[in-house]
Amino acid sequence: MGLRPKMNVISLTDAAAARVQDIIANADKPLFGLRVGVKNGGCAGMSYTMEMAERANPGDEVVEDKGVRVLVDPKAILFLLGTQMDYETTKLSSGFTFNNPNQTSACGCGESVAITPASLSEAEGAKA
């Protein structure tokens, strides 16, 4: 029985990778990558978090995609498994968006989401 190919917890579109590369290139200090996670809050229950990281923290899942290093907070892995991060620009706004198969709903203002964690068997497939 062969091993299944490793599935990244998160992937990036070309637009998201280009925006992260631009942010890192123009930072005031050397950066290791972009850390993403989730936190409790908002009217739907959870919201996505992002911050630039100077180093990986113990337990971070390090994903390299399209020349960008993304660090996934270990508490967020089951919530983000299979997510694609994008960067969208419209006439009125621009920002990162998340296409998350685990997201079950979002609030009307778009600031928070409801997410059901992936199963442990899916997570084991991601780390295999």
Q: What is the pLDDT of residues 1-44, one digit of tens each?
A: 455 456 689 999 999 999 999 999 999 999 999 999 998 876 65
Q: How confident is the model at residue 103 (pLDDT cuts 50, 70, 90)?
A: confident
Whether 108 is in a domain gets the answer yes
pLDDT at res. 42: 67
Whether 78 is in a domain gets the answer yes
Q: d(Cα 70, Cα 35) in Å, to the nearest integer? A: 6
What residue type is assigned to position 50 of the chain?
A: M
Structure-model confidence comparison of residues 97 and 113, the more confident one = 97
CATH number at residue 108: 2.60.300.12
pLDDT at res. 43: 67
Whether 68 is in a domain gets the answer yes
pLDDT at res. 46: 81
Whether 24 is in a domain gets the answer yes
Q: Which domain holds residue 90?
A: 10-119
Q: How confident is the model at residue 72 (pLDDT cuts 50, 70, 90)?
A: very high
Whether 26 is in a domain gets the answer yes
Whether 22 is in a domain gets the answer yes
Cβ atoms of 109 and 43 within 8 Å: the answer is yes
Whether 3 is in a domain gets the answer no
Rounded to two decimals, what is the model's pTM? 0.76
Residue 70 pLDDT more than 60?
yes
Whether 19 is in a domain gets the answer yes
Domain total for the chain? 1
